[in-house]
A and B are shown apart, each in its own frame.
Chain A
Amino acid sequence: MIELDQVHKAYEVEGRAIPALKSTNLAIQNGEIFGIVGHSGAGKSTLIRLINMLERPSGGRIVVDNEDVTGYASDSLRAFRRKVGMIFQHFNLLSSKTVADNIAFPMKLAGIYSREEIRARVAELVKRVGLEDHAKKYPSQLSGGQKQRVGIARALACRPTILLCDEATSALDPQTTQSVLRLLADINRELGLTIVLITHEMDVVRRICDRVAVMDAGEIVEMGTVADVFLHPEHPTTRDFVFESEHIDEREQQADFAHAEGRILHLTFRGESTYKPLLGSIARQTGVDFSILSGRIDRIKDMPYGQLTLSLVGGDLEAAVAALDAADVHVEVLR
């Protein structure tokens, strides 16, 4: 478990302290994929760098697996860092080393592995990330997605228990992003690795994270399971992120609603109820007429969900809402 206890960080700029992270409490469970989303400058980059002490906190404690790592220096810090892998937006591979040598690099730095161990581990990892045919190539000969796979293999070399992802897919095209995210999810499942990732794309969070924290101006403004935060965003920053990822323009939507008649309801289906033919039967039972104003059906990690905005006319509205409630559909009355 990674625990941040009253951790804060300020940078000294021309004699003045500029806060990058306000006092923050956070607990990340072992084996979960925890997303931190925020605009650039929100403090997420500082937060993730505090976990492996690339940045020293100005105050507070960071506790990993019941050990206070805040006081670590030299040897203990280096041993700790070997247990925390990290991948980066721009991959940060050594251009002077081949793919195999890049992956072997952290093991060589550790100085505790035999040449034979390193060779075997590199062969295993190259295969795991699907780069068997590229082991002898240099990074400049690889595509962005391949480079990030090398980055992932390198981060896993010393068998870490935590993997930090710093905007790991932000420099990749959508298709490559998907394949890299799938690889991360597989690794998380197979190795039980805890993954902390920061991103400015809500879509990344929606695809693979279990829980998410939303950051704004140096603090966490909303946190919870991805489904809760995604389907019922509360803080304005969170709403911005969610709407942006769903390509919803709030103002356009309001204008559309103005044309609709009757009551407007926003329905959220989760899990199995997404696929049930609820609306038709409820309409028949209660005599309510409905038209769909907007809607989408998608997945959050492995859970299907649907969101529909309906305008309802006539019939027994109360009974309709009660029937939806009874079927575990979340109902929000917009008008």
Chain B
Amino acid sequence: MMADLFSNVDWLEIGWASWDTLVMVAVSLFFSILFGLPIGVLLFLTGKRQLLEQPVAYAALSFVVNVLRSVPFIILLIVMIPVTVMMIGTSLGVAGAIPPLVAGGAPFFARLVETSLREVDRGIIEATQAMGATVRQVIFGALLPEALPGLIAGITVTAITLVSYAAMSGVIGGGGLGDLAIRFGYQRFQTDVMVITVALLVIFVQLLQMAGDRLVLHFSRR
């Protein structure tokens, strides 16, 4: 019965593709946080009436983030091809998908960081300054710990966005579940493969959201 219904499905292939998707999301999430967090902190600090108010720097940084955020991801994938080839030698497969994923994920996460830092009560920043804290101490001692639940929620949203971006990267030969869905499900009309890949993506996103929500709850002290 199962075999009839999913006659085209090569389960081993599905297994590898799932693993590839997992790797693409994990690695690109790591780099998105690595680049996005400092950019987000800088966006916040240089913003209006903040600790390091710096209108020119803010405008410049904000512009770059906006440009990357406004390019549709499918276009970003294509635009990034030469850059990716220069960086890691190929634009194909799992490795080739990582740079465009980070280029899409980091600015996205940076904005989320900026927003969650703005949610931190200004009074707490003022109190920390009044205790004689340096800017670095304000950031690491007060701002980031206070914004932690918001930051975790931001990481969750970014991870989920990266799942869909990773699937999209199948269009340009990016590997993973998206690649299977396009090559077999779309180009060869194997609807069963399409159904399975989509189901796996849905499950993946659900798991991420649940894990994220739990962590947010765990770290919320308000």
Within 8 A of B (CB), among A122-160: 138-140, 154, 158
Known: A54-B130, A94-B124, A140-B221. 20 other contacts (CB 8 A): A52-B130, A54-B126, A74-B134, A78-B132, A78-B133, A80-B132, A81-B130, A82-B132, A84-B130, A88-B127, A92-B123, A92-B127, A93-B127, A96-B219, A105-B128, A106-B131, A108-B141, A109-B132, A109-B141, A139-B221
User: A88 to B123, Cβ gap below 8 A?
Assistant: yes
Kindly state the interface size class of chain B when it binds its partner.
Answer: 20 to 34
User: Do residues A82 and B124 form an inter-chain contact, with CB atoms below 8 A?
Assistant: no
Which residue of A has the minimal Cβ distance to B145?
A: A96
How far is it, in angstroms, between the C-alpha of A77 and the C-alpha of B130 when the chains are bound?
10
Q: Are A109 and B133 in contact (CB under 8 A)?
A: yes
Does A97 touch B at the CB level, under 8 Å? yes
B3 to chain A, nearest CB (A): 54
B16 CB → nearest A CB, Å? 41
Assembly CA distance A97 to B130 (angstroms): 18
Known: A78-B133, A82-B131. A94 touches B123 (CB 8 A): no
* Bound CA–CA A54/B129 (angstroms): 8
The 10 closest A-B pairs by CB, nearest first: A81-B132, A92-B127, A78-B132, A92-B123, A106-B131, A96-B145, A86-B130, A82-B132, A138-B221, A95-B221
Chain B residue contacts of A333, Cβ below 8 A: none
Q: With A97-B145, A105-B141 as given contacts, are A92 and B134 in contact (CB-CB < 8 Å)?
A: no
Give the residues in chain A near B148, CB-CB below 8 Å.
96
Is A27 engaged at the interface, CB distance under 8 Å to the other chain?
no
A96 with B131: CB separation less than 8 A:
no
B146 within 8 A of A: yes
Q: Are A78 and B221 in contact (CB under 8 A)?
A: no
Cβ of B222 under 8 Å from chain A = yes
The reply to whether B129 and A106 contact each other, CB–CB distance below 8 Å, is: no
A138 to B218, CA, bound (A): 13
Task: Check: B121 CB closer than 8 A to any chain A CB.
Answer: yes
Encoded as 1 (CB less than 8 Å from any B CB) or 0, chain A from 87 to 113 comes to 010101111110000000110111000
Within 8 A of B (CB), among A231-257: none
How far is A81 from B131 in the complex, measured between Cα atoms in Å? 6
Give the Cβ gap from A158 to chain B, nearest Cβ, in Å.
Answer: 8
Q: Within 8 Å CB of B137, what residues of A?
A: 109
Q: Is B142 an interface residue (CB 8 A)?
A: yes
Q: How large is the interface on A (under 10, 10 to 19, 20 to 34, 35 or more residues)?
A: 20 to 34
Establish whether residues B222 and A95, one from each chain, have CB atoms under 8 Å apart when the complex forms: yes
| CB of A79 closer than 8 Å to a CB of B | yes
Binary interface profile of A, 252-289, with partner B (CB < 8 Å = 1, else 0)?
A: 00000000000000000000000000000000000000
B contact set with A: CB distance below 8 Å = 121, 123-124, 126-134, 137, 141-142, 145-146, 148, 219, 221-222
**Chain A residues proximal to chain B, CB less than 8 Å:** 52, 54, 74, 77-82, 84, 86, 88, 90, 92-97, 105-106, 108-110, 138-140, 154, 158, 164
Please pick, from B123, B132, B221, the residue contacting A96 in the complex, using a CB distance under 8 A: B221
CB distance from A298 to the nearest CB of B (A): 34
A95 x B146 contact (CB < 8 A): yes
Cβ–Cβ contact A109 & B131, under 8 A: yes
Interface pair B132/A86, CB less than 8 Å apart: no
CA distance A52 to B130 in the complex (A): 7
Distance, CA A312 to CA B112, complexed state (A): 75
**Chain A residues whose C-beta falls within 8 Å of the C-beta of B222 in the assembled complex:** 95, 140
The 8 Å CB contact of B134, one of A78, A88, A97, is A78
Q: Closest chain A residue to B141 by CB distance?
A: A109
Q: Which chain B residue lies CB-closest to A139?
A: B221
Bound-state CA distance A96–B141 (Å) is 10
Closest B residue by C-beta to A79: B132
Q: Which residues of A contact B141 (CB under 8 A)?
A: 105, 108-109
Q: A97: nearest residue on chain B (CB-CB)?
A: B145
Q: Which residues of A contact B126 (CB under 8 A)?
A: 54, 88, 92
Residue contact B132 to A92, C-beta cutoff 8 Å: no
Checking B129, B134, B145 against A94 with a beta-carbon cut-off of 8 angstroms, the contacting residue is B145
Residues of B within 8 A of A139 (CB): 221
**Could you give 10 example pairs across A and B, Cβ below 8 Å?**
A54-B130, A77-B132, A78-B133, A81-B132, A92-B123, A93-B124, A94-B142, A94-B146, A96-B148, A96-B219
